[in-house]
Chains A and B, each alone.
Chain A
């Protein structure tokens, strides 16, 4: 059978993703500029419809959904444990964190949260923090790339490679792990992992300092980001912004501290907030600075986890990380909303179980990038087009999570 080709018609795009503003209704000085969906500074497939008056932006309309992979529809037709690979593919630069949130939600529904061995919890937190560093490195490095700083991107990619190899060693995959299972882990840590992790921390700590010197405290970088895209705190809260963006606006709010899930209450770490050192509180520079400071805090948490994993909860021959992984996952009829601190903000899962089947009746993901992106029109009215790229980069979106 002859394969039928996609019928190209000029109106196809206009029908499927029409502009919000009509050309006929514009004033004489206004024009519509289309940014994306294939543009490197949009971090994926995001289309921005920009209404501009010369260089000044009057309005921005984000068009999303180009990477929509029907996560929620898939989740409604698969057993709980088989959804985890789909969860990985939502925020693909921080898959461990998403897995952690998802597994935690299902465990709460089953009521086995208390039975999870401490060693499993510490390994989970260790993995999540390594991945948080990788995600923040991508955020800071590609942000530099957007603003014309090329070198930091190569530096962060070099350092991120070490993280990916560590995670590959543990789980077998570089980015999409399926490592954290409901009730346990895929496998225990490989022998020698703790030591390699410590070597990485020793190697990596000065590198963050170098990154800070090269990019964050760079005069050109400060000129491009300070006082740009200021997000006031009340607007941020009203818009549901979470994560480093909310902390950049000056609120000390971190779900790891507020909810105290997993073993985070036992760990010591600071929550950095934006202080307006280079400009106003809540500008693009503050958000980036908060991310860099969080890398240091994640390293601190990793060290504490490694201490526990080598001391109190040492590897033993009898330890089985899959010991309480349930064979059949059938939660009682209930509704549950669970949330966890992802590198980009609050990742929430809403579950509805009907008590009769192994598949969720409804599984909704509250994606942090999706909600964070929705504030873009609010903070980019009246700025220059070059600043729009700076603001978009500082939001740190991953389109896989925006579109799910």
Chain B
């Protein structure tokens, strides 16, 4: 697989309304996510994490600035081009009656299948393998509506995996999960960057996870984007900006009361 690098240049976040009045919610910044790296996006509620991830995935128009994937601007990409490059897992909980795990995961093969969506033996093998990878082999013919939150998150990741894209974007993949499930899913994702050379960008509120397991952190705080390895950000005291006007502080990589 070719190296896939995501480069964000002078991107600012915001939204415009029908009368073309624009509201900027985050000023321009530049960051990169390198090939086969595990990048965590951290920041407080409402700072614009989801907006950034949605913009990256092409679900939202770029407010201003540029996004490049392997040096090519994403402005001209079609929906299919995006689907070939980036798979996305949102925070939305899917509860569709009578929807089988197999059928849900199969949706990731959308661009690969024919008009009717008929799956080839190869497609079926990819689906089975992906479910095995996320530890959900035994659930293949279960109803999605009967799964626990952790199980559902795993099959949403399997669905992103069968899309077979070089880049994966996940919005809070560990929300709603218990601690063992959190770590299992994050380790699973990290393994994908190592074994399958996937470039993964995920947002999280769990600083322990970001500090211990991410290769790089994008920290959105105090209207500034801080980029660096976990130890770099601890050294530059970037987290203090995130905890400004709260009762918390960061000390030696641990969150403490002031």
Is this pair of chains taken from one and the same complex?
A: no
